[in-house]
Structure 1
Amino acid sequence: MVGISVGNKRFDFDGDERVTVKEGKLIIDSGTTVTMLALPVYEKVMKAVKSVIKLKQIPDPSGILDLCYSSRSRERDFPVITIHLTGADVKWGFENAFVMTSDESVCFAAQAMDYDGFSILGNLAQANFLVGFDLLTRTVSFKPAECGGT
């Protein structure tokens, strides 16, 4: 992971001494629900999300997530978040970056993690993507897909 964009605001981690995201420090884990971002990355992303979303901020009804808004909307007023990886960009839709925690609340589906610069891409962030792992070339690919069916 080399950077993150929130809407049209991009944050690159190269050269930022506080962000120690190095090659190999992004874990793709289908067993973790929300995305866990290294603390300095989380702080930058949270600040950017707060600056873009103009809804009333509220506490999470479940008491788990840090950034929640009063909203019945599933998509309106929420930015596209793009994860910039070496050689690829992965655009998250609403369902990848936000979660409805009640009928009237929407929360940013990420938490801070302070563990040696690691970040974990949780299963919400992987929703509606086919994630491919090529062990021979040591690459990961993300292909948008309609996985939920209607």
Structure 2
Amino acid sequence: MTSSFSPQSEPARYYYGLYPQYQEEYEHLQSMNYNIEVQRPKLKTTDQLNFQINVISRSVDSNSVSRLNTLLHNHQEVSCKRFFQEGQDWIKSILFHQDFPSESIEELAQRLVPEVHELFDFDEKLFGSDFANGAEPSDNLRFTLSLKVVVMI
């Protein structure tokens, strides 16, 4: 999954990849010749999404020497309910960095939220209701997503 963006002032691009941990497990089992059907995990409002985030800038100087610089490396956890309700705002808040243009963060947030929704089964009736928090069992699950972003400067 790649994307590029060019703001008005000077061209800046970014590329990103979003990788769910459960997908890697399915691919490993399939490589071992297990016949399984990949299904999107059905989420409860109290389940957690654990984002492992790496944002790296890549620049090339006048001598064509490429430099990599880590802008952000952290782990952020959010409840599935909060992600469902505040997804874009939450992503923008965790990706903020002075060297990552805010226009690019805005576009990336707009692209990431639907991609996360494609990876998981969010029951809109359950996640859209205010009373759903206490109605679910306490065996909450944690799903890990790796987000890698390269900002071209």
State TM-score, norm by structure 2: 0.27
Structure with bigger RCO (C-alpha 8 Å, 6+ apart):
2
- Larger Rg: 1 or 2? 2
Q: TM-score, normalization: structure 1?
A: 0.28
Whose helix proportion is higher, 1 or 2?
Answer: 2
Larger strand fraction of residues: 1
